[in-house]
Amino acid sequence: MAGAKKASALSPAVRMLAALPILVVIATRRDGGAVQLNPVWFELKDGFFWLNSNTRRTWPKNLQRDRELTMLLVDPKEPYRYAQIRGRLISLIPDPQHEFIDRLSRRYTGEKFRELEPGEHRVTFKIQPVAVTGDMI
Amino acid sequence: MAVELSPKMQAFTEEVFPAIIGTNRKNGSVEMVPVWFEQQDGSFWINGGTNRGWFKHLQRDPRITLLLIDPKNMWRWAQVEGRMVNWAEDPGGDHINHLSHRYMGRDYQNPRTGRIKVQIEPLRVTGAIDGWR
């Protein structure tokens, strides 16, 4: 289970897994250092991971403060085959017309995203993968 | 202060899927790894070799977060923030064998020596099982 190897580029195995409509589990740190884990939608495109969130949630705040996160992709057919990816926040892109969250929603549900709530602001995070460890690099 | 798990959460922890655990590395990054777990009397128990990174991290910083997610339904998930309150050797591998029966329905196939079991007390539960909090 433990993978000590390290690679910086994404292998074909990781890219194949990232093409599936599975969730990525992201780890950020709260103020004070407690670990926060969230399953989130993502897309891997042009070598970057793209995430989207409501700005009021905690993990986007953690990510904006630390500018880094860890992501875990797990093979849905084999739960101990995984890639752990450390990532760096490259840029933050407002999504006022909810185009990107609609795109992500179609990837996962086949339909566009729900209506935004009053005062809800969506933002897209561009994440550069920095290091990959695990059983499928 | 430890929190008590709701009946819904207790039922969720009976389901058989690995937990993803997150621990703090010395350099400030988070290590994540899927592990077998069980919940007993409100505590979570995991098992590993003493050389595992996460166990070394916990000895320095006992905070640990578990993500439980139904692999067949991504909307059913819970995040449990907790801390290691106790660990003990697992002589003879009785505990890992017990977990192997929970997950694989058979005896543990790998060496049962040099293992430890770790008790985690939940401090905060969030996510979709209890409703958003």
Residues listed for chain B? 133
Q: Does residue A25 belong to the interface with chain B, where contact is any CB pair within 8 Å?
A: yes
For A80, the closest of B34, B66, B81 (CB atoms) is B34
Q: How far apart are the first and last CA of chain B?
A: 17
Distance from C-alpha of A48 to C-alpha of B23, rounded to nearest angstrom = 25
Q: Note whether residue A21 is domain-resident.
A: yes
Q: Note whether residue A7 is domain-resident.
A: no
CA A14 to chain centre: 14
Q: Does residue B15 belong to the interface with chain A, where contact is any CB pair within 8 Å?
A: no
Q: How many interchain CB pairs under 8 A, A with B?
A: 77
Partners of B18 on chain A (C-beta within 8 Å) are 79-80
Partners of B20 on chain A (C-beta within 8 Å) are 25, 37, 72, 74
For chain B, residues with pLDDT lower than 50 are none
Is B66 within 8 Å of A37 when comparing Cβ atoms? yes
Q: What's residue A1's pLDDT?
A: 40
Kindly report whether the global pTM for this prediction surpasses the value 0.90: yes
Task: Read off the pLDDT of residues A9-58 as tens digits, 9 standing for 90 and up.
Answer: 799 999 999 999 999 999 999 999 999 999 999 999 999 999 999 999 99
Q: What's residue A3's pLDDT?
A: 46
Q: Note whether residue A47 is domain-resident.
A: yes
Helix, strand, coil share of chain B (percent; to 5): 25, 40, 35
Task: Read off the pLDDT of residues B97-129 as tens digits, 9 standing for 90 and up.
Answer: 999 999 999 999 999 999 999 999 999 999 999
Partners of A65 on chain B (C-beta within 8 Å) are none
Q: What's residue B83's pLDDT?
A: 98
Task: Read off the pLDDT of residues A84-100 as tens digits, 9 standing for 90 and up.
Answer: 999 999 999 999 999 99
Task: Read off the pLDDT of residues A91-126 as tens digits, 9 standing for 90 and up.
Answer: 999 999 999 999 999 999 999 999 999 999 999 999
Q: Which domain holds residue A26?
A: 12-134
Q: Note whether residue A115 is domain-resident.
A: yes
Complete domains list, chain B, with CATH: 7-125 (2.30.110.10)
Identify the residue among A5, A35, A57, A130 best suited for mutation to test binding to B, counting B beta carbons within 10 A and taking the highest: A35
Q: Note whether residue A2 is domain-resident.
A: no
Residue of chain A minimizing CA distance to B75: A39
**A84 to chain B, closest Cα gap in Å:** 7
pLDDT band at residue A137 using 50, 70 and 90 as cut-offs: low
Is B22 within 8 Å of A27 when comparing Cβ atoms? yes
| Residue B116 CB contacts under 8 Å (≥ 6 apart), including other chains | B47, B48, B49, B50, B55, B87, B88, B89, B90
Residue A37 corresponds to which tokens in the numbers above?
A: 């884990």
ipTM of the predicted structure?
A: 0.92
CATH number reported for the structural domain that contains residue A117 in this entry = 2.30.110.10
pLDDT band at residue A62 using 50, 70 and 90 as cut-offs: very high
Tell me how many domains chain A contains. 1
Q: What's residue A2's pLDDT?
A: 44
Eight-state DSSP code of residue B120: E
Distances from the Cα of A114 to the Cαs of A47, A98, B95, in angstroms?
A: 28, 10, 45
Partners of B17 on chain A (C-beta within 8 Å) are 79
